[in-house]
Amino acid sequence: MAGLLFGTGGTPHSAKTGSTIDGILRIAELGLGGMEIEFVQGVRMGEAGARLVAETAARTGVKLSAHAPYFINLNSHEPEKIRASQERILQTARIGAICGAQSIVFHAAFYLGDPPPEVYNRVKNYLVEIVNRLKRESIRVWLRPEIMGKASQFGDIDEVINLSTELEGVAPCIDFAHWHARTGAFNSYAEFVSILLKIKERLGDKALQNMHIHFAGINYGKKGEIKHLDLKESDFQYIELLQALKNYEAEGLVICESPNLEEDALLLQATYSKLLKTG
């Protein structure tokens, strides 16, 4: 049974140090399945370091993904910022691939007051250039635009799924907490199922077996996300989400981004295995 693997967004708090390698070792000790390397402040890892990360991940069996820097806006009105954004995604993919990461997650753009269909086309065109470049460099990773939590951010569920249908090598990063915060809804079994059915209809069964999920408790207001919370302090119906993922046989990596990281990742993993046993 492949099922879902659970892990943390970044090195767990209880790791010996904040390094990626100590993070992977701690994930393995805790009995978790994966970790997302957070290049969110910049890709500060060289090729040699990435090879050591890959060895550690292979030895411990921990699955990796990588998160690109926050300073990305494929809808910037300044051409040099577009180039820099593309370069940050490319660099995350290059180093992430050496680490053995299969998925590269990124926040694609801000609307900056532009009509969303225009922003979509711009993001798509710049993303095509990135996809082609990676192909030329023979780098095989999934590029995953993330569902974002704020109304000002490009990345609602349809935008992310549409990009995934249109571009080869692009697949969604389904951030259930962000989507809940953005809509004020999507916090029940039936609503979680509707998301999974949409993925299945638009992207096929294969997409449900190749999921990359972000998950956390979340605090939100009219404009969407305010901040992440630990699951038990939040209103998130995580058991219902896990039940939906189980019933629709979702497979892939679930990255927990609650402030307490590994505590909630372990809670999710334990809850999910209980559901698997009880049916």
User: Which residues sit at the interface with Zn ion, rule CB under 5 A?
Assistant: 146
Considering the complex, what minimum distance in angstroms separates the CB of residue 277 from Zn ion? 32
157-166 vs 116-136: helix crossing angle, rounded to 10: 40
Please classify residue 22 by burial: count the beta carbons closer than 10 Å to its beta carbon, then call 0-12 exposed, 13-18 middle and 19+ buried.
middle
The pairing of strands 103-106 and 142-145 is: parallel
d(C-alpha 231, C-alpha 262), whole Å:
12
Q: Residue 99, Cα to own-chain centre: how many angstroms?
A: 17
Considering the complex, what minimum distance in angstroms separates the CB of residue 249 from Zn ion? 25
Considering the complex, what minimum distance in angstroms separates the CB of residue 141 from Zn ion? 16
Instruction: Please give the structure tokens belonging to residue 59.
Output: 């030895």
Check: CB of residue 214 under 8 Å from CB of residue 10: no
Considering the complex, what minimum distance in angstroms separates the CB of residue 67 from Zn ion? 6
Considering the complex, what minimum distance in angstroms separates the CB of residue 243 from Zn ion? 25
Q: Which sign, positive or negative, has the C-alpha torsion 210, 212, 217, 218?
A: negative
Q: Which residue is nearest to Zn ion (CB)?
A: 146
